Chains A and B, each alone.
Chain A
Amino acid sequence: MKSVLGSLVAFCIFAAPAAAATVTNKDGATVVLTVVENGSRMEIVLDAGGSETLCPTGCFVTLPNGDRIALDGGENVEIQNGSAVIK
């Protein structure tokens, strides 16, 4: 039991979230991205200059200009003029 608890605690401390994609809004206005992750569609709100970490398991993002891109984690995405720049 002790070892079980120990490993649990250790895990909780050291477990870092899996590599996720970071999206930053470089535009002057708030943008809404539609993200499909884990089978569910959700709207993500990004304020001007705001940044959000999303989809550690890979996802599809629909950008304000209508383009769709797929992310598999680890990307750095910047939103400029409603379009995505992936770095």
Chain B
Amino acid sequence: MRIFNFPFYLLLLLALWSASAPASAVAQDQPRAAVEGQAEKLNETIDKGRTDLAAARSRIDALKQQVAAYANDDARLVDLKAEVEEATRTIIAISVSLRPRFEAIKSRLAELGDPPAEGQPPEADIVTSERKQLGAERSLINALTGEAEDLSISATSLSNQITDIRRRLFTETLFKRSDISVDSFNIAGKALVAEMADLQRAFGSWIKFVWKFKRLPLLTAVLLSLFAAMIFLVGSYRLFGHFTHRDRTVVDPPYIARLSFAFWSTMIQTLSLVAFLASSFFFMNSFNVLRADIAPIISSALGFTGAVYFVGRLTHAVFAPGRPDWRLVRVSNTGAHQLDWAILAMAFVSGVDYVFSGISEALGSPVILTVMKSFAASLVVGLILFIISFLRPVLAVSGDPEERGRPWPRLMAILLRLTGVALVVACVTGYVGLARFVATQIVLTGAVVATMYIGILCGKAVGKRGAFAETRLGVYLGARYGLGPVALDQIGLAAGLGIYAFALMTGVPLILLSWGFQVGDLEQWAYRLFTEIRIGNISISLMSILGGVLLFVFGLLMTRWLQKWIDGNVMDRSQVDAGVRNSVKTGVGYLGVAVAGLIGISAAGLDLSSFALVAGALSLGVGFGLQNIVSNFVSGLILLVERPFKVGDWVVTGTTEGFVKRISVRATEIETFQRQSIMVPNSLFINASVGNWTHRNKLGRADISVVVSYDSDPRRIMQLLKEIAEGHPKVLRNPAPMAIFSAFGEATMTFELRAYLADIVNGGEVRNDLRLAIFERFRQEGLGMPFKKEDGVPKDPPEEDETREPLPEAKPEPRPAPVVNAQSGKSIG
């Protein structure tokens, strides 16, 4: 286009030159007359320039609107771009038309010389005024040229914008056919040469300028970014260093070691490089080293380096061409080398295509160039795929990697061949956009999916039962913190899940991004996922639910703290009864949980009023099914308030007897004398009578019945019994122990010794002592044998094992019958 129009501009230039040249000649010869005549002429030229410029501006404004209106019409955009370029050239032509005048003014000013300095004789007024006028016109022209300059910038950016739109149409519209012909190759070739020259000039001038004037910022930026990368590299090596090198001493490393090596070495080294590249771009940008037209080129080159390095690293880790025992896939040595190279080549070609499109974008090259570059890149990728399909990479049957491998499985070979052929065909038939997309995705998505898959396999291997304890980290943790196999296994499970999450959370967004989703979209999705999930009319917000849960946990912790504080400080010091302490503590606990729950629910954004409906439904359920649970709960509350017993009390209810261990919401835990724990529903304590041996005090009566034959003197017996009881240190003097002649048997008299103890819990021990003492004393006194052995069993034997005792008793253990209340249970009966 430029070439065709060139003669026209030459003509225009010549015309302008010839129009202005005589005037300047006149001006030099006849200064005075010329100034007069020229002033008008000059003004005329400037006025014309100004009106032309205004016209060009309104034309460009109109074009801008048209571009916005036809943003989806490729053909129309081509025309518009031509018009914009025409307008740009017009703007330059307008400015060039001012130049002869400008030259004339300059040379006239040079002729007039500098104004006389202080002390020199003054010059003629006419000279002064002419200089003044010329100076004013000079700055007027400068200002006009400046305006033209700005306008040309906006025109060129409009033109680049059109190219961008068209390029986007090309890359985003997959099924758009581009014209592929000899002619288009020619045009693209010319454009390529022009682009390379442009690139060389732009880059050369930038480098030269930066090196001359911004050397320090450039070096600082590079140094700083190297520093950042070093920090990252050293940090990650210290953390995961043992994952990133192959242990040469290990002959046949386990699969998990190979996997983690592949995953971590790829991740750490790529991320370090990315840290370096990103920080160098960031620092160069913030130190103003980059120029607006250079920055996108640099950024695409950096992106290219990072992506190709990543793919190279990954394929090298997976195929391990030099180390067959570290290989993750079952391929032969030759196959590993070939695949390694082939994949790297595909990545390189796709990357070069990416860099070239970045350059084209930055330099505003024609779209056809992008199309042709993508054409070439997709063609190469297609051919590589086609060639790969004929390789023989699969490990030989013998399993020896040195041997010549087998060909691909049939399906795989066909798939590869078809994809390769399809890419080439798509290119040749003009569906370059589609071919480019597919070629790029094969490389990029393939690489990301492969890494993700390795990560997931790695997580699976780490999470396997007992696998983590065998890893070096597991061994280290076990030795350092003294963790047992169970703890290590749990850590392994958590680590496995963590690796899953990491692999998915980095991989999925990367794939989505490479499919053309924007970062903004992803952010919005993530934001919506966390803040608002709509299901019908209900909207759930993960964020507020999380907040609610956190508040609830916080409330719970606060409650625990409050409980501890009240229990340990306030009540302990005020010498409150243990039962009250327990009740208050439990009550505060219930209250705290309820309040924390309410706060949590409100913070989670659940409308409490909507619970009214649920509560209504629930109350019906309570009426039927939940009746027992609710009744137990309410009973528990009543137990807390009424306190018929406290923890540690010796209670009897129904058939259950023992010490109270814990009073909880639904049931009370009672430990029997045989150490059996029994959960007694709270409602039982409320609805039935409960005996408590230790309610107000621990005072209690121990009864021992003694059966004696009629040979003995009852008064003597009673006296002896009383003496024996009084002689025991744990028997209270007041109320005094008493002996009672309680019954006449057929051949025996029954006596009862009733002794009061300060602590009924000691009852068993005391009774035992008393019985022993009675036995020994009776034998000593010659009293005894209530009945002869041949008399048979007594009338009412208490327990079988005690029937043959010389002095059997009615009850071996204090087992008072359930009494109406604890108090009467202990009264003197």
Contact = CB atoms under 8 A, between A and B. Distances in A.
B6 to A, nearest CB: 7
Interface stretch (B168-176, B190-198, B329-337, B768-776): B190-198
A4 B185 contact: yes
Interface in B141-157: 142, 145-146, 148-149, 152-157
B177 interface: no
B9 A7 contact: no
A32 B208 CA distance: 11
A43 B160 CA distance: 21
A60 B149 contact: yes
B11 interface: no
A41 B153 contact: yes
A44 interface: yes
A15, A35, A40, A67 pick with most chain B CB within 10 angstroms: A40
11 contacts: A4-B182, A17-B194, A35-B205, A45-B213, A53-B201, A54-B201, A58-B88, A58-B89, A68-B145, A69-B99, A70-B149
Contact of B92 (A11, A17, A72): A72
Interface in B179-229: 182, 185-186, 189-190, 193-194, 197-198, 201-202, 205-206, 208-209, 212-213
A11 B186 contact: yes
Contact of A7 (B102, B185, B201): B185
A28 interface: no
Interface string A10-50: 01100101110000000000101001101111111100000
B193 A36 contact: no
B410 interface: no
Interface residue SS majority, chain B: helix
B106 A83 contact: yes
Given A12-B193, A45-B205, A39 B157 contact: yes
Interface in A43-87: 43-45, 52-54, 56-60, 66-72, 83, 86
Given A17-B197, A39-B152, A70 B185 contact: no
A12 B213 contact: no
Nearest to B205: A44
B98 interface: yes
Contact of B198 (A7, A38, A44, A59): A38
Contacts of A15: 189-190, 193
Contacts of A11: 186, 189-190, 193
A72 B153 contact: no
Interface in B1-36: 2-3, 6, 9, 13
B549 interface: no
B95 interface: yes
A72 B142 contact: no
Nearest to B193: A15
Contacts of B293: 38, 40, 42
A69 B2 contact: no
A42 B210 CA distance: 11
A36 to B, nearest CB: 5
Contact of A72 (B13, B208, B364): B13
B93 interface: yes
A45 B189 contact: no
B95 A60 contact: yes
Nearest to A17: B197
A72 B185 contact: no
Given A15-B193, A60-B149, A68-B145, A38 B156 contact: yes
B149 A36 contact: yes
B185 A69 contact: no
A46 to B, nearest CB: 9
B364 A38 contact: yes
Contacts of B148: 60, 70
Contacts of B202: 40, 42
Nearest to A7: B186
List the 10 closest A-B pairs by CB distance, nearest first.
A39-B156, A70-B95, A40-B293, A58-B92, A68-B145, A60-B149, A4-B185, A11-B189, A8-B189, A43-B209
B96 A72 contact: yes
Given A11-B190, A40-B292, A40-B293, A45 B160 contact: no
A3 B209 contact: no
B6 A19 contact: yes
B103 interface: yes
Interface string B363-384: 1100000000000000000000
Given A38-B198, A42-B206, A45-B212, A67 B142 contact: yes
Contacts of A86: 99, 103
B145 A8 contact: no
A6 to B, nearest CB: 10
Contacts of B99: 69-70, 86
B291 interface: yes
Nearest to A16: B193
A8 B185 contact: yes
Given A39-B159, A42-B206, A71 B96 contact: yes
Contacts of A70: 92, 95-96, 98-99, 145, 148-149
A60 B208 contact: no
A56 B202 CA distance: 12
B364 A39 contact: yes
A76 B99 CA distance: 14
A67 B98 CA distance: 13
Given A60-B145, A70-B99, A39 B153 contact: yes
B425 to A, nearest CB: 15
B396 to A, nearest CB: 39
A72 B6 CA distance: 10
A45 B149 contact: no
B209 A32 contact: yes
Contact of A68 (B9, B106, B142, B155): B142
Nearest to B362: A40
Nearest to A67: B142
Contacts of A8: 185-186, 189
Contacts of B208: 44-45
Interface in B118-149: 138, 142, 145-146, 148-149
Nearest to A71: B96
Contacts of A52: 205
